[in-house]
Amino acid sequence: MKKIVVLGSTGTIGRGVLDIVRAFPHDFKVVGLTTNTNIKLLKEQAAEFKPLDTGIGEKDLMKIATMKEADIIIVAVVGLSGLLPTLAAIRNGKDIAIATKEVLVVAGELVMKEVKKYNVHIIPIDSEHSAIFQCLRSGEGKEVNKIILTMGKGKIAAMKKEDLSSVTLEQITDRSVWKMGDKITIDSATCLNKSFEVIEARWLFDIKPSKIHIVVHPEYICHSMAEFVDGSIISEMGTPDMKRYIQFALFYPERKKMCVTQGIDITDKTLSFEKAPYDKFPGLKLGFDAIKKGGTMPAVMHGADESAVQAFLLKKITFVDISLIIQKTMKAHKVIQNPTLDKIISAEKWGQAYAKKLIDKKI
């Protein structure tokens, strides 16, 4: 029986994890749960799963992340609050199932060094990275020619470039697939989320940026691919349901029959792929720019995005201003190479502050 801790058990991913535990009660034991603010739901979860300990707010994350009884820590908290607990869990020899993208976006190089040092596994829950993780099991690292991240094509992507400045939050959140919170939905619309995924992939799979490619896949059936040196392309396909990826991460390296979501009938399905819209969405290039500069640049990019998205939500800036603010913030930053954790966190805060200045000055 695998003993698990869920950091962020009351969020979407955390609740999905507990759905899997309910479906496989003889395979998992919940030993720790945390929430940021949803205390009522945490109490209900604790009554049902009877963990050894629970935590509320960032102050308790470290304590729960380092529980000696745990085999695997599911990191599903919001934002940078997941960084220090993830590092602490790794240093305590715990395997990590990670859904909090900020951990690898902001400090991916540092985190992966610790993963190797302490000889633990880090299994992605994010759909594209889980897909690639699974595809790469078909060969060795030296046999990989490139990895191919897929991105969808929603209503915003179908708009003309000249119409993007008038895009509203209501238009962005009107999605038929992958229902998410406002922040990640906006990042998906600007393509910043895909840029973050490029940074994650760089460190998670220890792959050169030149070997990371992006294609548009409107049907949301293929969730990413890996091409090997012999020309073979391995893809991961299935229903766009995060519970598939959560289950894979929890059972890794085993597989079990899925019983909490439906499979997909590929009969009569169409698969199409298009070139990534770099010209229409400049945010799509920023992840490559960040990892090319290296050091503290990914942290600055993330910080600037935090401020820009918040300003858009407050209707202080337009949709197209988001990427522009991030670009200008990155251009102004003097990169620190091989940064310490403190330098990384400081750089992220600097990115937030500089972007806010641009916003206040009306860019």
Q: Take residue 21 and report the two structure tokens written for it.
A: 């535990």
Q: Take residue 298 and report the two structure tokens written for it.
A: 């990914």
Rounded to whole angstroms, the Cα distance separating 247 from 171 reads: 32
338 is in an annotated binding site: no
Residue keyed to tokens 């939050």: 169
162 is in an annotated binding site: no
Residue keyed to tokens 């820590």: 73
3-state secondary structure of 73: strand
DSSP state of 133: H
219 is in an annotated binding site: no
128 is in an annotated binding site: yes
Rounded to whole angstroms, the Cα distance separating 281 from 295 reads: 24
Instruction: Indicate the residue type of 43.
Output: K
127 is in an annotated binding site: yes
Across the strands, what pairs with 151? 216
Rounded to whole angstroms, the Cα distance separating 287 from 323 reads: 12
239 is in an annotated binding site: no
197 is in an annotated binding site: yes
Give the helix/strand (H/E) hosting 48: helix 39-49
165 is in an annotated binding site: no
Rounded to whole angstroms, the Cα distance separating 165 from 360 reads: 19
274 is in an annotated binding site: no
**First-to-last CA distance in the chain?**
55
Q: Take residue 274 and report the two structure tokens written for it.
A: 């298009």
13 is in an annotated binding site: yes
10 is in an annotated binding site: yes
275 is in an annotated binding site: no
Helix pair 192-204, 182-190: axis angle to 10 deg: 90
Annotated binding site for Mn(2+): 126, 128, 197
Annotated binding site: 10-11, 13, 38, 101-102, 126-128, 181, 188, 193-194, 197
Annotated binding site for 1-deoxy-D-xylulose 5-phosphate: 101, 127-128, 188, 193-194, 197
Annotated binding site for NADPH: 10-11, 13, 38, 102, 181
